[in-house]
Chain A
Amino acid sequence: MNDIAIRCEGLSKQYRIGMRGPYKTLRDTLTDAMYAPFRRVRSAFQGNGKPADGVDTIWALKDVSFEVKRGEIFGVIGRNGAGKSTLLKVLSRITEPTRGRAEIHGRVGSLLEVGTGFHPELTGRENIYLNGTIIGMKKAEVQHKFDEIVDFAEVEKFIDTPVKRYSSGMYLRLAFAVAAHLEPEVLIVDEILAVGDIAFQEKCLGKMTNVAKEGRAVLFASHNLPTVQHLCAGVILLRQGKTEAIGQPQDVIGLYLSEAANEGKVSLRGWTDRSTTGEARLLEVEIRNGQGDLTNRIPVGGSVSFVFRMEFYRPTADPTFGVIIHNTLGEPILDVRSHHSGFRPGRVSGQVIVRARIEKLGLYPGRYFLSPWISDSTAKRDIDYVKLCCALQVDPAPGPFGDLKLDSRWGKYWVQSDWQSNG
């Protein structure tokens, strides 16, 4: 009996990016059919065998091969558009691969979204059954686990209320609860833990770890690097549809982060791993040391300035700015934001330059990564959020008390402290 749960060999998926949009109309097909003979003649004269109808193709996934063992949680990481979702969709049988093959041993359950098929008019009870059978459970199975699901979701009182009257938190908890009780031999999960409150996320992570302990396999795609590091036995890094690396989480995550630019001045114009509304765009980040020189190497306790160049495409009142500083695991370590310092720029539009200065940056020596962002006046709705785009190197340096031995096993951030004794 082999212990392989998922085996992919050369899995590839090609998409057409037609110029006409996702679907055709009968008229298009009819006119196509009329012109097709002429086109064939023309292309015969031109001598290229390519279809001449302006259809472009893109490989969303190209030659991806890996194995996942039973009892293992396997992570899939990569930037937006790297092919994570496509890989999960192919393995969940939502879409067919163009080439290659995959074998999955055991019943597959996939959760690319929570609450798929939830209907607002139906009650919590009704939605549990509906959603449960949609994600692949049998009616008897849902019946058997019903009380457990309701307990897990903490919605006993509202179980016969239509879910349109639920708070968004309750709605999510119920959706998660159903998902968490799916017990296939192979579980495919996409990023669903990115929502919901921390306590609930931990409950779900615990559930996933249990699944692995029971000898099932989990394939887990996520942006949340600390979680991947913590949970996964192996990780694959995808880049533009291709396998960039497969291996131990720490190594692969390190490689993933090394894509961040390692300079004092970083252009963000071509950076695609961002979530943006299109109202404004970060164009460039500069990092300057205490002397005002462009560099991304800062001594411990030294001062640093960030200069963000951005463009607002429509006038925006009092936007907030910030930068998240992550460690090499992708964990956010520092949350630096304009409105915490009372900065209100008023109404802005067009090209804007924003500077932030930190005196005595006390990060322990090591590599860090920046995610700059622009948000609305309440800092609740992100306008542009550029993920892990540039690196910051903090170097050991003699501080005011000599050469400090700062070991990141004991701490992450250095602060000056005053000590007294009554002796």
Chain B
Amino acid sequence: MDNGVSKNALPTLLIEPGRGWAPLKLRDLWEYRDLLYFLTWRDIKVRYKQTALGAAWAIIQPLFTMLVFSLFFGGLAKVPSDGIPYSIFAYAALVPWIFFANGLSQSSNSLVGSAQLITKIYFPRLVIPISTVISGVVDFALAFLVLLVMMLYYGVVPTVNALWLPFFLLLALVASLGVGLWLSALNVEYRDVRYVVPFITQFWMFVTPIAYPSSLLSEPWRTLYGLNPMVGVVEGFRWALLGANTGPGPMIAVSSAASLMILISGAFYFKWMEKDLADVV
């Protein structure tokens, strides 16, 4: 039998107590990319198999939130919407927001939920929250289809700016994963984190310009507002798709930097906690 490994090139594995901050070992993560693929695929498959409404859930959540927002904020409170019909203004923000919020809450529970795997087999633990967040992309795509239909209905023609959309989706993914890494690692050690998560997402939604535009703020506050990574994502979506006057600028740069910071710090914290993971989970 041969499996492509020659006898004198055997890798040597050292097992030692870890000291201080652990390196991220991204190479190890790359080695396990097939596992990442199958875990993501399992999450998607199982989600749509187990729920009665299946794929419809991905649409119902943003659609109904949009209806409520349009009725109360757009209709009754007359919240400004940068000159765009309010319902599509809100929906274009809700689609990436719900992707972010679901990714965050699911990944923060992912480690505890995978205790069975973690205590029985080795693999880079980062695979678990990453696959959870990525699997949310399917829900995102379904909700996005509805957004396209709405654009058709309101006669909104996307410009070439729409090419930036993948970047903004990536930004939402990075932010979601970054916060998810922090929370999932904290959740292993402090189980009350899962009670905090719904509060965090609710609070975060109100400090993100979903029901209102960020143009209500004047500079330099608007740029500072970008410290909330979702501000950049949401306004980026509106700019790329609806032509809102919130194009790439200092605010989005600040949001990108903030997301990256959260992701990197989250990954290191996660790695640091990883060594005790199997003992406490």
* Interface residues of A, Cβ cutoff 8 Å to B: 1, 11, 15, 22-27, 29, 89-108, 110, 112-113, 116-117, 119, 121-122, 126, 129-130, 133-139, 141, 183, 185, 214
A107, B190: Cβ atoms closer than 8 Å: no
A133, B279: Cβ atoms closer than 8 Å: no
CA of A195 to CA of B226 in the docked complex: distance in angstroms? 57
B12, A105: Cβ atoms closer than 8 Å: yes
CA of A139 to CA of B3 in the docked complex: distance in angstroms? 14
B11, A133: Cβ atoms closer than 8 Å: no
CA of A184 to CA of B198 in the docked complex: distance in angstroms? 43
Smallest CB–CB gap between A100 and chain B, Å?
A: 8
CA of A121 to CA of B48 in the docked complex: distance in angstroms? 11
Smallest CB–CB gap between A57 and chain B, Å?
A: 12
CA of A44 to CA of B49 in the docked complex: distance in angstroms? 60
* Interface residues of B, Cβ cutoff 8 Å to A: 1, 3, 5, 7-8, 10-18, 32, 34-35, 37-39, 42, 45-46, 49-50, 116-123, 188-193, 275-276, 278-280
B5, A107: Cβ atoms closer than 8 Å: yes
Residues of A close to B13: CB separation below 8 A? 93, 103-105, 108
Other-chain contact of A129, B32, B38, B119 (Cβ < 8 Å): B38
B123, A24: Cβ atoms closer than 8 Å: no
CA of A136 to CA of B11 in the docked complex: distance in angstroms? 15
A121, B5: Cβ atoms closer than 8 Å: no
A130, B16: Cβ atoms closer than 8 Å: no
Residues of A close to B119: CB separation below 8 A? 89, 94
A27-B192 contact, Cβ under 8 Å, with A103-B12, A116-B116: yes
CA of A112 to CA of B116 in the docked complex: distance in angstroms? 11
Closest residue of B by beta carbon distance from A162: B49
B278, A106: Cβ atoms closer than 8 Å: no
B117, A94: Cβ atoms closer than 8 Å: no
Residues of B close to A25: CB separation below 8 A? 190-192
Residues of B close to A108: CB separation below 8 A? 13, 122
Other-chain contact of B122, A94, A119, A185 (Cβ < 8 Å): A94
Chain B CB within 10 A, most for which of A97, A126, A133, A137 = A133
B35, A15: Cβ atoms closer than 8 Å: no
B120, A126: Cβ atoms closer than 8 Å: no
B190, A23: Cβ atoms closer than 8 Å: yes
A1-B38 contact, Cβ under 8 Å, with A25-B192, A90-B15, A92-B122: no
Given A26-B190, A96-B16: 17 more A-B contacts, CB < 8 Å: A23-B190, A94-B120, A94-B122, A96-B15, A96-B275, A102-B14, A102-B15, A103-B14, A104-B12, A104-B13, A110-B122, A113-B120, A121-B50, A130-B39, A133-B34, A133-B37, A139-B38
